[in-house]
Amino acid sequence: MDVPVRRGSAWLIAPAFRYRRSASAAADVVVLDLEDSVPAEDKPTARAAAVDRVREVVDDHDTVLGVRVNAPGTLHGLHDLVAFAESGVCPAVVVVPKVESSRDVELVATVLDRGHGPPAVWALVETPRAFQHLAEILGSQWLAGVVFGAADYAAATGCARSSQALWYPRSALAAGAAAAGVPALDSPYFDLDDPEGLQREAEQARDLGFTGKGAVHPRQLPVIRDAFAASEQELAQAHAVLAAAEAAHGGITTVDGRMVGPPIVAAARAVTAHAATPHGRSSKEESGAEQ
């Protein structure tokens, strides 16, 4: 199954034993968590539940189900990999936490490759050491994408979990992922009662070049999509740039007093292309169209 990595992708992360299909239908990818949200004594139960859930949707082409395993260098992480390897089923996406080397990605991919190809392995980049080895991690042939882990990074460095304090790692990860040609997903926003804060942070993630953002509750999904969607003004500006470029036959021109060259034209094309995708419109526009 193809894993959605369109601009504005919204992934829902949920504890494996609390997964409800109806509540997660709006997510591009649902990631069943076996790591941080599951206490040590509940991990065997959550692991078994995750295997059962993956088995249930193996033939469901409308559901993309992933699993965040425990770090492969831990006993719980090894149990996670063995459980899926022996089950005969494999999630479409495997998110690997605490990745600090391309070897972590390779281990997961090779263990879970049962002859039909490995799952899409996404590295959760969330430690200072990971950023020291970022180029190596991003260069892995097994890597499908990267996710920023704001909470663990802030805890490891002692910095605040604010936009300003995390500007460097977010920028480095988004830029590095772009150079490697892989998508990058921003960390979830953990304050469930602050949709305005989520909107601001998602817009910042969009501006930095992230492909999408994680969510920890279904009601965050439309906010994320709205933040990544182009506004009417941005879309009108993009169309104006494309029209001016066509009239100039590829030469340098201006729009509203601003110079327009190939990079500006490429950005305008990206805006219009995103607007043409199913999630290119904001949820407000979609709900208005249905009324």
Claim to verify: residue 60 and residue 87 sit in the same structural domain: yes
Give domain status of residue 1, yes or no.
Answer: no
What CATH number should be reported for the domain holding residue 214?
3.20.20.60
Task: Say if 4 falls within a structural domain.
Answer: no
Number of compact structural domains in the chain: 2
pLDDT score of 88 more than 80: yes
Q: Average per-residue pLDDT in the chain?
A: 85
Report the DSSP beta bridge partners of residue 10.
213
Q: Give yes or no: residues 239 and 218 share one domain.
A: no
Cα 67 to Cα 55: distance, rounded to the nearest angstrom:
12
* Inside any domain, residue 278: yes
Query: Same domain for 102 and 244?
Result: no
pLDDT band at 285, cuts 50/70/90? very low
Same structural domain for residues 192 and 254? no
Name the percent of the chain lying above pLDDT 70: 76
Tens of pLDDT along 247-273? 766 677 776 767 666 767 666 566 666
> In terms of domains, do 248 and 143 share one?
no
**Which residue type, as a one-letter code, is found at position 250?**
G
Contact yes or no for 62/30 (Cβ under 8 A):
no
pTM: 0.83
* Predicted pLDDT at 288: 36
For residue 270, is it within any domain? yes
Q: Which residue range(s) make up the domain with 253?
A: 232-290
Strand extents, DSSP E, the chain:
9-15, 29-33, 65-68, 93-96, 120-125, 143-148, 184-186, 212-215, 253-255, 258-260
What is the spatial distance between Cα 45 and Cα 53, in angstroms, rounded to a whole number?
Answer: 12
In angstroms and rounded to an integer, the radius of gyration of the C-alpha atoms of the chain is 20
DSSP symbol at 155? H
Q: For 149-186, what is each residue's pLDDT tens digit?
A: 999 999 999 999 998 899 999 999 999 999 999 999 99
